[in-house]
Chain A
């Protein structure tokens, strides 16, 4: 069920928040094989649900009151374990709430737990978690994408109607595509990063997963807003991201919309089924009134190398605070201070995190800064200029979210470069700071989901969401659910669409 449907049911007293939470906890327990959760807070969730039910009874309810949700374990949640899927923070209890966590609390949501992810959000498959890999609800042998794989899998498997995630290079959109749900990364600065455990500060963007564009709009409205504690948070008037969705359904609701099709997004190296599904989706958008224009993004092919300089550089510095002095893991054996640091960090971080720290350390080091870090920042600007030019000719840019559907667990773990290339279409939106989302647009013959990426210009979330919404009104891909037997050992009861 969608948030909208659940909210109506709560108001109509057809169910209660406590009931919803009990069902949710049961589904999570039955779906442990998916490994979508690192921490489940049953007692806390039930207490919040009771409070939500009182608010509903008083008629004092927000649109999200009583709705069970889960947060990616990258967000600080006061009094609740917050691990970032790392041994480094295995036992760390957050002393405060992230801004988006607090906003969603105020909006009445019920937090049931923290979702699994790639360690420190570094990955595209959710396999690097200290707490074990997440499995794709559509196929237990496959990854759900990453890094927000637990959040995506939890929604896809129907465990909760919505989750939060973070997107640094595609970490919301790519798992949304690989699990057949909607995921939105808003414009950088729209949601505060305060309380988000930083991976790459100039790219990290909080966002959300849900089954429909409408639910995404609802969540984003609750999460967005200026936060004086984040110097990169933008002070803009509050926005109703659903404002375009309410308009009556015309036969050609996207009349006048120009969709940009970058040649570079349809190049070789993309799975045939993915191209076919995306082209069908474009045909659907044209049937809804949109016109297609070709756009050129010649620099976008450099997005992956740019990203793999900038993100590790920032990460190497951001992760220096994990030194075993004030919180987190500390090695048991050491002879002196340096050894304490080196062992603590060697034990506390997994292989991919360490690799990225080393890459980042290198590109910032003396003699290499100009050639790598500064050069990457210059190419970043060239990519942003490409998009600025493209958006003079079109309103949104569409294409595949990922070059492939979900791949087998373990298939790319030993080949970081192949893993990095998963993000080839998603990274640009992080480099530019522009909004983007992924919606389901089909399946492979093996019934693995395929995602359509919709990218907008700065602050054009409402338009993006409207395109997704109109598409979802005439298609049924987002209503598909994995059969309970698909994910993990699969005794979970999929929430039927």
Chain B
């Protein structure tokens, strides 16, 4: 697998990370090297093998439906870059 400049642009866009023009070359080279390592997986026969998504084979624990959280808005919003009237502010959201 070898990445094209467009691939990097597309990925950076999906991941919402600006990649500056002067970084793009280096990012691409390193991604190529990493996929050189990863691509070894393609040759392994995994027919009939169940994927393993979790380190332990456990069942989902369930919570009782009770309200336990208190209002901690002031504490949490003390960390926020921009708030007004209890709302987190962001540049205008277009639909």
Contacts and interface: CB of A to CB of B under 8 A. Distances in A.
Contact of B11 (A187, A304, A349, A361): A361
A328 B79 CA distance: 7
Contacts of B50: 378, 381
A357 B18 CA distance: 12
A266 interface: no
A330 interface: yes
Given A355-B30, A359-B31, A361-B11, A343 B51 contact: no
Given A378-B50, A380-B52, A92 B58 contact: no
Contact of B52 (A320, A337, A378, A415): A378
B79 A336 contact: no
B90 A355 contact: no
A302 B45 CA distance: 12
A382 B51 CA distance: 9
Interface residues of A, number: 72
A341 interface: yes
B45 to A, nearest CB: 9
A302 B41 contact: yes
A342 B19 CA distance: 9
Interface stretch (A249-257, A273-281, A369-377, A466-474): A369-377
B11 A95 contact: no
Nearest to B17: A345
B51 to A, nearest CB: 4
A325 B88 contact: yes
Contact of B17 (A95, A305, A342, A374): A342
Interface string A310-336: 000000100010011111101000111
B93 interface: yes
A391 interface: no
A362 interface: yes
27 contacts: A188-B56, A189-B58, A202-B54, A202-B55, A299-B44, A302-B41, A308-B34, A316-B15, A325-B88, A325-B90, A326-B79, A337-B93, A343-B18, A345-B16, A346-B19, A355-B30, A358-B31, A359-B38, A363-B38, A365-B14, A374-B51, A377-B52, A377-B53, A379-B41, A381-B50, A417-B36, A430-B55
Given A95-B79, A374-B51, 11 more contacts: A232-B54, A232-B58, A234-B58, A326-B76, A342-B17, A354-B15, A354-B27, A355-B27, A359-B38, A362-B7, A378-B52
Interface of A: 92-93, 95, 187-189, 202-203, 228, 231-232, 234-235, 299, 302, 304-306, 308-309, 316, 320, 323-328, 330, 334-343, 345-346, 349, 354-355, 357-359, 361-363, 365, 371-372, 374-382, 384, 415-417, 420, 430-433, 458
